[in-house]
C-alpha cells in the first residue's frame, strides 16, 4: 500500500483576499472550486502548475472569528529554482516575516497568519 500527498488545507476568513495573495505572492492559481448548495462553505483548490499537489483554501460562513493557529509550529513549505529572485520579489512586497540567511530559507505570512517557508530547490 502506497500513500501519496494530495493537498493541504488552510481555513481562511476572506476567500477572495487569500486567493489574490497566493496568486500575487506565490503564483498559485485556482484549479477547482466547490460551493455548498446552502452557502455554508466554499472550498478552493490552488495549484502551482507544475505538481499535482494542491493548497485547499476553505471559507466557512459560520466562522467569523480568526482561526487559532497555535504557536505557528506547522507551516507549508515551497521550493523555488531562482531563490534570489523569489527573495527579492517577496522583500519588495514586504512579505518576509522571518529570514534565516544562514540556512538559506525564509518565511512569509498569509493574510490569515499561516506561515509559508521558502527554500531553494537546489538546497
pLDDT in tens, 16-62: 999 999 999 999 999 999 999 999 999 999 999 999 999 999 999 99
Catalytic residue status for 117: yes
Which pLDDT score is estimated for 75? 85
Of the candidates 4, 30, 56, 117, the residue annotated as catalytic is 117
CA distances from 23 to 19, 104, 107 (A): 6, 23, 17
Q: In order of start, what are the domains of the chain with their CATH numbers? A: 1-62 (3.10.180.10), 74-123 (3.10.180.10)
Q: What b/e string do you get for 60-89 counting C-beta neighbours within 10 Å, with b at 16 or more?
A: beeeeeeeeeeeeeeeeebebeebeebbeb
Q: What is the pTM of this model?
A: 0.87
Give the span between the Cα atoms of 120 and 122, in whole angstroms.
5
Amino acid at each position: 500500500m502506497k500513500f501519496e500527498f494530495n493537498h493541504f488545507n488552510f481555513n481562511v476568513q476572506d476567500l477572495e483576499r487569500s486567493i489574490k495573495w497566493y496568486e500575487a505572492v506565490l503564483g498559485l492559481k485556482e484549479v477547482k472550486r466547490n460551493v455548498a448548495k446552502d452557502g455554508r462553505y466554499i472550498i478552493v483548490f490552488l495549484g502551482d502548475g507544475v505538481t499535482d499537489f494542491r493548497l485547499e483554501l476553505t471559507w466557512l460562513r459560520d466562522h467569523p472569528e480568526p482561526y487559532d493557529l497555535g504557536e505557528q509550529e506547522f507551516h507549508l513549505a515551497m521550493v523555488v529554482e531562482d531563490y534570489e529572485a523569489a527573495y527579492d520579489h517577496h522583500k519588495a512586497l514586504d512579505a518576509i516575516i522571518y529570514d534565516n540567511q544562514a540556512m538559506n530559507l525564509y518565511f512569509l505570512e498569509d493574510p490569515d497568519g499561516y506561515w509559508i517557508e521558502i527554500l531553494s530547490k537546489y538546497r
